[in-house]
Amino acid sequence: MVGIQKGTLRRWLQQGVIPEPKHNRVAGVGYRIWTARDVERVRKWKAAHYRKGRGKKKKKK
C-alpha cells in the first residue's frame, strides 16, 4: 500500500519516526490495526524523507 518493505516499516516504527497504530491481541497474537489515516501519515513521511531505490534523502546544508 505504501511501497516499502515490511522490515523498513518495522524499523520506522521502532525508531519512532512514524506513530504506532492501534494494537489488538487475538488468541495471544498481536496485530496492528492500520486506518486510512495511519497509511496516509506513512506515505507523507516517506515522500518527505525517503527516495525510491536510494534510501534516505540527504540532509540539506
pLDDT of residue 32: 87
State pTM to two decimals. 0.68
Does residue 58 surpass a pLDDT of 70? no
Reported as a single tens digit per residue, the pLDDT across 7-56 is 988 999 999 988 888 888 888 888 888 899 999 999 998 888 877 666 66
- Phi-psi category of residue 49: left, alpha or beta, with phi > 0 → left and psi -120 to 50 → alpha: alpha
Dihedral of the alpha carbons of 7, 13, 14, 19, in degrees to the nearest 10:
180
pLDDT of residue 54: 65
pLDDT of residue 39: 92
